[in-house]
Structure 1
Amino acid sequence: MIDYRPVGGAMLLAEPLVVRFDALLGEPAAGRALERLDRELDWQRPRLRLYGREHPIPRRQVWMGDTEARYRYSGSDFSPETWHPEASRLRDAVIARLAAAGIRADFNSVLLNRYAGGEERMGWHGDDEPELGPDPLVAAVSLGAERPLRFRWKKRDGEAFNAWLPHDSLLLMGPGVQRRLQHALLPRRIPGLRISLTFRRIIP
């Protein structure tokens, strides 16, 4: 298993493209964004249906975006909340950082996940809902406690790997990633609050 530890920005995969950029906002802006999002959002713990049974998700979340960015996930429909100023600022910073790397992006929505500590988690999945199109570009910002996002190949034809995501980092998952890989935030004995913002474009 490959363990990509942060040493500045790094290309983790070339095909399909997975890249980590560090120091997206810089301090004190990144710390301020974490504090405001934690304090000012109406964090929710919806119940999702899995294998015929309903379960509360093991974290808290907010779905946010443009009015038309409705999303269906695990049998539930989500209507977006209005953009929070910090989330909007982060979206613009992500688009600018990607543009500087020669990557064009246009996001109209974001899923924010709040992990109170290392025991809260996200199971194996791909961001491959029909609303995202066949090969979406997905960009994830991490604020707070550093944790690894684990990847595995759907056809098990490659080695699984961890992408460690420090505070104020940006992970780009390019076209083909959601089709070919799954990812998860597995439980770890890592203390501290972490908020992730996963930007994407919903196709109405």
Structure 2
Amino acid sequence: MSTMTERATVALLDSPPLTLFTGLLGEPAASEALSRLDRELAWQRPTLRLYGREHPIPRHQVWMGSPEARYRYSGRDFLPEGWHPDVAALRDAVVERLAAAGIPSRFNSVLLNRYADGEERMGWHSDDEPELGDDPLIAAVSLGAERPLRFRWKAREAEAFNAWLPHDSLLLMGPGVQRRLQHALLPRRLPGLRISLTFRWVGPATGGTCPSSP
């Protein structure tokens, strides 16, 4: 696990805006949050139907948020679990850090993904479900083992690139990122537990596909 705790802001892209903030909670708070979330959440491993067969996703997840932040997936309606105190504290820390950078934000939901090691993964996607709006603001917090999030341009206008996400960091994917890029957490031979929390605002008219997260 990376032990980076220094608060820093790194602009990975200017247009569309992609920004990495480090030292979100500081230590030992970040490591304590990682341990509690790992122990206390009811981690699930739902299945996806592909070509008529059910396949478990290659990670565990929890959908959490306010009661209105529901979604429809694989013919079923999913209601969010209520806010865990540590997740609510992380949400508030994200809003505060972004406000300090002059970026207003609000979040009523979060998708948490638990990756036991580097072999667990997330495929190529954009967080562009209709209920998120046209150009959503997505805030992804990383706790635990450092891994790279791979980005590629939909129009192939530039080379693909990695955004390394250290422990206790926040990756802000600003307006236009989901429209112009895809991202994936590809398998790597890297040890260690990682939990990601992808905060977003789900609009009142939901019923789209399953949200994704890095």
What TM-score comes out, normalization by structure 2 length?
Answer: 0.89
Matched, 1:171 2:166: no
| Matched residue, 1:3 | none
- The change in CA–CA distance for 1:73 and 1:100 in structure 2 (over 3 A counts) is farther
Secondary structure, aligned partner of 1:9: strand
Answer whether contact 1:50 1:74 (CA < 8 A) is retained. Answer: no
| Matched residue, 2:83 | 83
C-alpha displacement of 1:77: 3.8
| Matched residue, 2:55 | 55
C-alpha displacement of 1:113: 0.1
- Please, which runs of 5 or more residues in structure 2 have no aligned partner? 1-5, 205-214
Secondary structure, aligned partner of 1:152: strand
Secondary structure, aligned partner of 2:86: helix
CA RMSD of aligned residues (A): 1.6
Matched, 1:12 2:16: no
C-alpha displacement of 1:72: 3.6
| Matched residue, 2:145 | 145
Alignment-mate amino acid for residue 163 of structure 1: A
Answer whether contact 1:48 1:76 (CA < 8 A) is retained. Answer: no
Aligned length: 199
| Matched residue, 2:207 | none
C-alpha displacement of 1:65: 0.1
**Percentage of identical aligned residues:** 77
- The change in CA–CA distance for 1:126 and 1:72 in structure 2 (over 3 A counts) is farther
Write the distance in 1 (CA, Å) between the matches of 2:22 and 2:39. Answer: 24
C-alpha displacement of 1:78: 2.5
Secondary structure, aligned partner of 1:90: helix
Write the distance in 1 (CA, Å) between the matches of 2:150 and 2:144. Answer: 18
Answer whether contact 2:7 2:21 (CA < 8 A) is retained. Answer: no
Answer whether contact 1:72 1:129 (CA < 8 A) is retained. Answer: no
Secondary structure, aligned partner of 2:36: helix
Q: How does 1:91-110 map to 2 (within 5 A)?
A: 91-110=91-110
Write the distance in 2 (CA, Å) between the matches of 1:70 and 1:150. Answer: 28
C-alpha displacement of 1:87: 0.3
| Matched residue, 1:42 | 42
Alignment-mate amino acid for residue 29 of structure 2: A
Report runs of 4+ in structure 1 exceeding 2 Å deviation.
6-9, 49-54, 71-78
Q: How does 1:97-136 map to 2 (within 5 A)?
A: 97-136=97-136
Q: How does 1:185-196 map to 2 (within 5 A)?
A: 185-196=185-196
Secondary structure, aligned partner of 1:68: coil
C-alpha displacement of 1:73: 5.0
